[in-house]
Amino acid sequence: MQPVTVTTTHGDARAHVWPADAPVGALVLGHGAGGGVTAPDLTAAARAAADTGLRVVLVEQPYRVAGRRAPPRAPVLDAAWTEVVAALRADGPAGLPLVVGGRSSGARVACRTAAGTGAAGVLCLAFPLQPAARAGRDPAPSRLPELDAVDVPVLVVQGDRDPFGMPPAAARREVVVLPGDHALRRETAALGAAVRGWLRSLPGLVEPVARR
């Protein structure tokens, strides 16, 4: 992977590009709130997409590039992400279908910005459906509306013991449940197979004959 610096209004982001000789589409993935782009589930998803003929880009948000672990507010994350995706589209092959996604916080960002980035699909790894309860406070609202607002196909891959809950399937939303918790470290082969199958089902993404 070759890291590329992408300047945004909220600081420099870093894009790790997995090139493809004749890409049939592009997949852009973001990391979790306190993690990085080398998380096992992100790596498995990236490999599956590359095997399917997609150009894959793993994006580090500006706050992580600057060495901070705590993310900024959602509008800042969304704005930086949208700028990075636009820059990647301008720099990459024209006309490719775009799939966006990420793990945990990165999945939320991808959902909230799917319409603005022109995504053909959204891949959510370990979507944090229900925020953790804080002592002495009422439960925080579910984040299901962020998923429901996406009007293109969505794949959610969730651990069966994820403490943040289990998103429901819906008309445009497929949910694959794997053994594990929020980290999704255990069943990376199954995760990759799920991602590969879903990508092949998306309209406009046709796998090259040589890769079948």
Return the pLDDT at 25: 94
Q: What angle do CA 60, 64, 67 make, to 5 degrees?
A: 145
Region at 61 (left for phi over 0; alpha for psi -120 to 50; beta for the rest): beta
Q: How far is residue 174's CA from residue 43's CA, in Å, rounded to a whole number?
A: 21
Chain-centroid distance, C-alpha 3: 18
Q: Which residues of the chain have pLDDT under 50?
A: 208-212
pLDDT tens-place string over residues 35-83: 999 999 999 999 999 999 999 999 999 999 999 999 999 999 999 999 9
Q: Is-contact 142 119, C-beta < 8 A?
A: no
Q: Is-contact 108 146, C-beta < 8 A?
A: yes
Return the pLDDT at 210: 39
